[in-house]
Structure 1
Amino acid sequence: MKEIRFDNKLSSTGPVFKPLYKQVEEHVKQLIVEQRWKPGDMLPNEFQLAAELNVSQGTMRKALNSLTDTKVLMRKQGVGTFVSEHTAQNGLFRFFPIIADGKNPELPKAELLSIETQTAEALVSVALELNKKDKVIVMRRRRILNGEYCIAETIYLPHVYFKELLDMTDIPHTLYHFYQTHFNLTVHSTEDAIKADIANQSDVELLGIKRGEPVLSVQRTAHSLNGKAMEFRISRCRSDKYHYLVKLN
């Protein structure tokens, strides 16, 4: 494992006091944002980290436990602590809650319909915390489960972070791992707003269902490790054979 040295930036001063373990936690997250550790990298052990940051082993362990609980880090028993990766398997259970009735969860394939640059409309600029004239990249896709179209989605990404995407010809089905490995942007949290709706003409054309059939409309905003809004997507999900499953621990 490569040796990584970093400056001790911990401080109890500032407008709002934070417990020392929270300062350690935020410092480790910032090191990941800065790519001092990349997805899949193993961290030094807690003794080394505590010595580097000049904190007690107990404080370091508390910070690492918190980062593990929030999925920023993952621990492998008897091996060590690693920066989490958005692999297809963990993405399945954390970020894709649409499941076919009576079936086990599985990741769908994606058919890319279009990709272009637009000026962000009001709904999108608010969700992505953009200025009025900021540009966004817009991807339109259809998701496929069991050989049929189940979701039509429109994905909005800040142009400033994702402009290289326009030159890419091979965009994978699983976007969160792609964001992490190609753009150094890790989805840390998502917020879904779900409403019952009925199929419009676009749903009819994209999903092969009848106008007026029930669908789920899901608006998702994804934030990165440092709190930046990095993706806004609107998904139209057919609900005749599929349901939205959430498990709370």
Structure 2
Amino acid sequence: MAGTDFGNKLGTSGLAFLPLYKQVEKHVTQLIVEQRWKPGEMLPSEFQLASEFGVSQGTVRKALNTLTDAKVLNRKQGLGTFVAEHTGTPALYRFFPLVADDHNPELPVSEVLSLTIEQASKDVAQQLGIKTRTKVVLLKRRRTLNGEHCLLEDIYLPYKEFAGIEKEPEIPHTLYHFYQTNFNQTVHKTEDKIKAVIASKEDAKLLSIKAGEPLIWFSRLTKSLNDQNIEYRVTRCRSDNYHYLVNFD
């Protein structure tokens, strides 16, 4: 567990206009961004945090509950409060919405097709909030369910935040955990847009279908804890035996 000298006190960082619990919430989030507490690490107790921030334990509890609901933190009964990790089955199901018809959600097999460093096009730059021709990472992947190629992904990352990714010996299946542990980029929010398209010749070949067959197309914009765009993902899914599942909890 990290020390409890947090530097800036509440009300001194331009957040004084917010309710106290929101100030605590913002401050705890910033400390995680600064890696004061790393993924999987336990936070100080509510009593310690309340003393450090100069607020009541109830205020701290409300802030931590909000961050737990947002999946920034993970509270374990009898143990304490921990920085959430994007790893394991729950995280994969949370961020992977494609399900085979008449099947329960399953974990896909992921195959890296290529990883290159390129200059951002106008569209990619706009999505990531960077200047056109800025260096970006382009990761192309193919996913398989039940032995059948079902999904293609083009994943764009701002190179500034992911410098050196091309030197990584392996790109794991669980990308969000990889971003978190290797580059200190914690996924906080995602926004998906969905529409129907037809398969190009290239996509059809990679998915083992005929060109012109219908696909589910969706884009995902991912933001980090400090509200920065860190990933723009374009996905094409087969629609013949699969559907897009969204759960609200």
Does 1:3 find its partner at 2:3?
Answer: yes
Q: Is residue 159 of structure 2 the alignment partner of residue 159 of structure 1?
A: yes
Query: For residues 245 and 179 of structure 1, what CA distance do their matches in structure 2 show?
Result: 24
**Letter in structure 1 aligned against 2:118:** Q
Which residue in 2 is equivalent to 1:44?
44
Asked if 2 retains the 8 angstrom alpha-carbon contact of 1:4 and 1:36, the reply is: no
Which residue in 1 is equivalent to 2:237?
237
The sequence identity of aligned pairs, in percent, is 58
TM-score by length of 2: 0.96
Q: How does 1:11-22 map to 2 (within 5 A)?
A: 11=11, 14=14, 17-22=17-22
**Structure 2 letter corresponding to 1:43:** L
Q: Which runs of 5+ in 1 are unaligned?
A: none
Pairing 1:81–2:65 present: no
- 1:62-211 matches, within 5 Å, as 62-211=62-211
In the TM superposition, structure 1's runs of 4+ consecutive aligned residues that sit over 4 Å from their partners are 12-16
Question: For residues 236 and 135 of structure 2, what CA distance do their matches in structure 1 show?
Answer: 23
> Given that residues 189 and 224 in structure 1 are in contact (C-alpha distance below 8 angstroms), is that contact kept between their aligned partners in structure 2?
yes
Aligned-pair distance for 1:106? 1.8
Q: CA deviation at 1:102?
A: 1.4
Deviations 1:23-62 (A, max 9, x none): 1101000100111100101111111110011111111111
Q: TM-score scaled to structure 1, two decimals?
A: 0.96
Structure 1 pair 78–52 and aligned structure 2 pair: CA distance change class (3 A) = same
- 1:141-196 CA-partner distances (Å, limit 9, x unpaired): 11111111110110000010112111112111110010011001000010000001
Distance 2:183 2:110 in 1: 20
Distance 1:170 1:239, change over 3 A: same
Secondary structure of 2:5's counterpart equals: coil
Q: Quick one: structure 1 residues 163 and 19, their matched pair in 2 at CA, closer, same or farther if it must change by over 3 Å?
A: same
Equivalent-residue separation in structure 1 for 2:169 and 2:72 (angstroms): 30
Q: CA deviation at 1:9?
A: 2.9
Mapped to 1, the partners of 2:164 and 2:13 lie a distance apart of 39
Give yes or no for contact 2:15–2:23 (8 Å, CA) kept in 1.
no
**TM-aligned CA deviation for residue 90 of structure 1:** 2.0
Q: Which amino acid aligns with 2:236?
A: R
Letter in 2 for 1:136: V
Q: 1:114–1:141: 8 Å Cα contact kept in structure 2?
A: yes
Q: 2:78 is matched by which residue type in structure 1? A: G
Partner of 2:217: 217
Residue-by-residue CA offset, 1:66-87 (whole Å, 9 max, x unaligned): 1011010011111111100001
Q: State whether residues 12 and 20 of structure 1, in contact with CA within 8 Å, keep that contact through their aligned partners in structure 2.
A: no
- Shift of residue 89, structure 1, vs aligned partner: 1.3
Query: Letter of the aligned partner of 2:232 in structure 1?
Result: F
Q: AA paired with 1:203? A: D
CA RMSD of aligned residues (A): 1.5
